Amino acid sequence: MRNRLRLACLALLLLAAPVAHAVQPDEVMADTAKEQRARALSRDLRCMVCQNQSIDDSDAPLARDLRLLVRERLAAGDSDNQVLDFLVARYGQFVLLKPRFERQTLLLWLLPPLLLLGGGLALWLQVRRRSQRGVETAPKLTAEEETRLAALMAAEQQPPAS
Amino acid sequence: MIAESGHYALVLALALALIQSTVPMLGAHQRDVALMNVGRSAALAQLVFAGLSFIALITLHVTSDFSVANVFENSHSMKPLLYKITGVWGNHEGSMLLWVSILALFGAMVALFGNNLPLSLRARVLAVQAWVAAAFYLFILMTSNPFARLATPPIEGRDLNPVLQDIGLAVHPPMLYLGYVGFSISFSFAIAALIEGRIDAAWARWVRPWTLMAWIFLTLGIAMGSYWAYYELGWGGWWFWDPVENASLMPWLAGTALLHSALVMEKRNALKVWTILLSILTFSLSLLGTFLVRSGVITSVHAFASDPTRGVFILGILVLFIGGSLTLFAGRATALKQGGLFAPISREGALVLNNLLLTVSCATVLFGTLYPVIMEALDFKLSVGAPFYNLTFGPLFALLLLIVPFGPMLAWKRGDLVAAAQRLLAAGVASLVAIAIAWAWARGGSALAPLGIGLGIFVITGAIVDLVERSGVARVPFRTALHRTRGLPRSVWGTAFAHAGLGIALLGIVCETTWNSELISTLRPGDVRNLAGYEIKFDGMTQRQGPNFTEVVSTFIISEDGRQLSVMTPSKRSFATRGMSTTEAALMTRGVSQLYVSLGDTTADGGLAVRIYHKPLVLLIWFGPVLMAFGGLLSLSDRRLRVGAPRPARAARALQPAE
């Protein structure tokens, strides 16, 4: 299904002259700086009729509409964030491939660092506890054992008489 | 008749699984040898009947028996034989049958090669294995019977989804399932150990080869699937962070962690509880993957099948097994005695850090995959895509790669970080040189790219340095070094290859994503375009008739500096039965870089839309995992690791260099 859609849209997309990227030539903005921004923005926006494809990758008609919309806003002088705000206001957070850091996504963003820190902390505590316990449990050698040990070590260092 | 026999064989397999899941367990409890031995015969018989059932379905597909619904929906009499066979698992019912057949295969292997296991452990392992099998036989028989007949048999089938009519389908799903399902062995061993309340280094010795085998298959399966997507889907992407891909990545991450923690347990008798937990989690993630793919809870490219009743059934299995095993773990884990102590800076310490990073990355993927589903249930729709994973998974994995070379350099129990760093000096210098070269050479692209290259080189040279250090090439006379190199255990070579594979894959990923170039153009016959130093001439189109499709083949002549290099023939195929078409991209490989041509539609004025990519070092992305799997294979063939091999003699050990 996606393949067919893609092909259908590819046909739509590729009517015109060559360019060096996935965007249709008639979409490209004259202002290269703005075009660069548009491309970067497109990579973080979801083609909502596709699965896990950005509008930069996708050839669905909706993706094209969104690409044009992004460029329209940029041409009107919007900042990147204003463009994203506009799209989110229209389509909801679903359109963002990189979820925003806010109340509903707090857990999503914070989980990896928290897990890493938590895991690291747990390991550190365990190491500390274990080393303390290790000190406590390792029994001290008695005076008799000390002398035996010294004798053994002395014997080791002497070359065997032969 | 064949369909009914296959169906009946499946019912018998279920019956055998039910016997196998109870009788040996009872036997182990009552110390009754005869009852315990039932597990062995039941497991072997189960394989016979599951296998018969699977062969029956293959036969139905090969003979194009369209009175069977599954064959009618997924096959066509004109389809090439290979795709008639692979089409068996190119659909929900058949793939589940493959799943249980592989499960039965692993159960039978434990029964066959488990002669030197303690009898009660083997009995319990086989019983747990049969619990899983019974649940899935029930699932197939109750919700996804592949042998259902049609009342009025149609004359022709609906054909297999054209996207799946590729050699990739012959390799990718069986590999992936061998990996997924292979982890059931370590799961069964973990549960059996918890029930038995006893676990020791011998346990780890047993579990590690099985885990390694599953890991090898999963590694190859994922790599194969990625390459298949790359050339088949036609836009040159190789990893999409699609939920279904994540479903296979998660068990891989957990399985990789398990592999390393089992190592600590085997060698040092430490990390017992953690290893048990990882065994449970790894297989749980495999089950979760099956659930994600098969239930359609997350609709995506791969999830061709979706039916809520099935979803609920698998969810039930999931809850039963994950919930049950974790409850058992919570109740019994404290009874397991913790083993050997080690200093934080030691080989064990490095492996613990490896486990921490791998599990956190795995949790990140898990959370990213499930979060949208959970939030959707709470009426908040959001997407979690590649940019999220690049920001979270990326740094975690970069950190992991940074510590990879240190692990093998550290001694067990108490290591010397400074000494390890000194030994890695050569790798560090090589990496800095690589960064400098990449920096100077790179035109455009992310500033992080040279650092990525440096990291890749560091991991690769780190692996080489490890081998050099162990053989003593730089320190002792050459002949002694040669002798030592030959005497190095295969597992040491395996480690080096697997770790180097990681670095190689990273190099490919960084180069492909940073310096790939693309060209989109409408071409008419005779038109010439230039990309990445290649001259690409569109020669024309011809019509061709395939077995079950017609295709339009376009010819492109590729030359460099006026010298013709190759002729590329991408095509577009139309499959009449399903009314679908596919693009068959053409690839030209030079070294490890590729030129990729994919076709669009023809325009009204006779032009052809073409998409051409140049992908530098792209093949390294898959060469890396292949090398990793090869390293795994080397380790698996290590005599000391081989299942049931006796402990190495002292003389053999003397060949190992001092660490």
Residue A106 included in any domain: no
Preferred mutation among B383, B397, B400 to probe A, highest tally of A CBs within 10 A: B383
* CB of B520 less than 8 A from some CB of A: yes
CA A53 to each of CA A24, A47, B383: distance values in angstroms, whole numbers, following the listed order: 17, 6, 10
Report the number of distinct structural domains present in chain A.
Answer: 2
Q: Based on the fold, state whether residues B384 and B239 are members of the same structural domain.
A: yes
Q: What value of ipTM does the predicted structure carry?
A: 0.82
Answer whether B396 touches A (CB < 8 Å). Answer: yes
Residues of B in contact with A42 (CB under 8 A): none
B210 lies in a domain? yes
Whether A16 and A45 map to the same domain: the answer is yes
Phi, psi dihedral angles at A37 (to 5 degrees): -65, -40
Tell whether B485 and B634 lie within a shared domain: yes
pLDDT at B202: 81
pLDDT tens, position by position, B127-136:
999 999 999 9
Q: Please tell me whether residues A26 and A72 are part of one structural domain.
A: yes
**DSSP helix, strand, coil percent of chain B (3-state; round to 5):** 65, 10, 25
Kindly tell me if the per-residue pLDDT of B246 is higher than 70.
yes
**Residue A46: inside a domain, yes or no?**
yes
* Stronger pLDDT, B300 or B640, i.e. the higher one: B640
Q: Is residue B186 part of a domain?
A: no
Picking from B376, B403, B430, the residue at the C-terminal end of a domain is B403
Say if the Cβ atoms of A18 and B392 lie within 8 Å.
no
In angstroms, rounded to a whole number, what is the distance separating the alpha carbons of residues B525 and B528? 9
3-class DSSP string for B154-206: CCCCCCCCHHHCCHHHHHHHHHHHHHHHHHHHHHHHHHHHHHHCCCCHHHHHH
Summarize the confidence of residues B88-115 as an average pLDDT.
Answer: 93
Q: Select from A108, A121, A135 the residue whose CB has the most chain B CBs within 10 Å, as the one to mutate to test that interface.
A: A108
- On whether both B245 and B338 belong to a single domain, the answer is yes
Q: Cβ–Cβ of B382/A94 closer than 8 Å?
A: yes
- pLDDT averaged over every residue in chain B: 89
Q: Could you report the per-residue pLDDT of B307-333, keeping only the tens digit for each?
A: 577 778 888 999 999 999 999 999 888
- Same domain for A75 and A138, yes or no, is no
Percent of chain A residues topping a pLDDT of 90: 20
| Adjacent-strand bridge partners of B532 | none
Answer yes or no: do A55 and A129 share one domain: no
Q: Is residue B178 in a domain? A: no
pLDDT tens track for A16-66: 322 233 555 556 677 878 888 888 898 889 888 877 788 887 777 888 889
A46 and B385: CB-CB below 8 Å?
Answer: yes
Q: Residue B43's pLDDT is what?
A: 97
**Residue of B242, B383, B609 with shortest CB distance to A14:** B609
**Position B350 in a domain:** yes
Domain presence at residue A139 = yes
Same domain, A66 and A126: no
**A94 & A141 share domain:** no
- The pTM (predicted TM-score) of the whole model is 0.89
Q: Domain for residue A91, yes or no?
A: yes
pLDDT tens for each residue of B594-649: 999 988 777 777 788 888 999 999 999 999 999 999 999 999 988 665 544 444 44
The more confident residue out of B377 and B105 is: B105
Range of the domain at A142: 116-154
Question: Is B606's Cβ below 8 Å from some Cβ in A?
Answer: no
- A127 and A92 assigned to the same domain: no
CATH number of the domain encompassing residue A17:
1.10.8.640
Interchain CB distance below 8 Å, A94 and B392: no
Give yes or no: residues A42 and A121 share one domain: no
pLDDT at A133: 64
A-B contacts at Cβ under 8 angstroms: 149
**Averaged pLDDT for residues B546-566:** 92
Beta strands B534-545; B550-560: pairing state: antiparallel
For B546, other C-beta atoms within 10 Å of its C-beta total 14
User: Are residues B103 and B17 both part of a single domain?
Assistant: yes
Q: Is the CB of residue B239 less than 8 Å away from at least one CB of chain A?
A: no
pLDDT band at A159; cut points 50, 70, 90: low
Q: What pLDDT, on a 0 to 100 scale, did the predictor assign at position A19?
A: 29
CA distance B308 to chain A (A): 20
Decide if B574 is inside a domain: yes
Kindly report the length of chain A. 162
Q: CA-based Rg of chain B, rounded to a whole angstrom?
A: 27
Kindly list the residues from chain B whose CB atom is less than 8 angstroms away from the CB atom of residue A4. Answer: 580-581
Task: Give the E-state strand segments of B444-533 in sequence order.
Answer: 517-523, 528-531
What percent of chain B is modeled with pLDDT above 90? 61
Number of compact structural domains in chain B: 4
The answer to whether residues A41 and A91 belong to one domain is yes
A109 found inside a domain: no
User: What one-character-per-residue DSSP string does B254-321 give?
Assistant: HHHHHHHHHHHHHHHS--HHHHHHHHHHHHHHHHHHHHHHHH-SS--SS-----HHHHHHHHHHHIII
Q: Are residues A127 and A59 in the same domain?
A: no
Cα pseudo-dihedral B277, B282, B284, B288, rounded to 10: 150
On the question of pLDDT at B413 being above 50, the answer is: yes
Closest chain A C-alpha to B147 CA, distance in angstroms? 27
B611 has a chain A CB within 8 A of its CB: yes
With 70 as the cut, is the pLDDT of residue B654 above it?
no
| Whether residues B61 and B151 fall in one domain | yes
Contact B300 A51 (CB under 8 A): yes
B31 and B112 share one domain: yes
B173: in domain: no
Residue B528 is assigned to a structural domain of this protein: yes
* Residues B448 and B541 grouped into a single domain: no
Q: How many CB atoms lie under 10 A from the CB of residue A8?
A: 16
Q: Give the Cα separation of B49 and B47 in Å (integer).
A: 6
Same domain, yes or no: A25 and A49: yes
pLDDT of amino acid A5: 39
- For residue B620, is it within any domain? no
My answer on whether B123 and B252 are in the same domain is no
* Contact across the interface for A11 and B603, Cβ inside 8 Å: yes
Q: What residue numbers bound the domain in which B581 lies?
A: 517-615
B121: contact with A, CB 8 A cutoff? no
How far apart, in whole angstroms, are the C-alpha atoms of residue B486 and residue B293? 46
Q: Are residues A71 and A126 in the same domain?
A: no
The pLDDT score that the predictor gives to residue B66 is 95
Q: Give me the mean pLDDT over the B50-55 stretch.
A: 97
Residue B639: what pLDDT? 67
What is the reported pLDDT for B649? Answer: 41
Residues B157 and B195 in one domain: no
Q: Are residues B522 and B496 in the same domain?
A: no
Tell me: the pLDDT tens digits for B138-180?
Answer: 999 999 999 999 999 999 998 888 888 889 899 999 999 999 9
Helix, strand, coil tally for chain A in percent (to 5): 65, 5, 30
B525 and B586 within one domain: yes
Residues B437 and B508 in one domain: yes
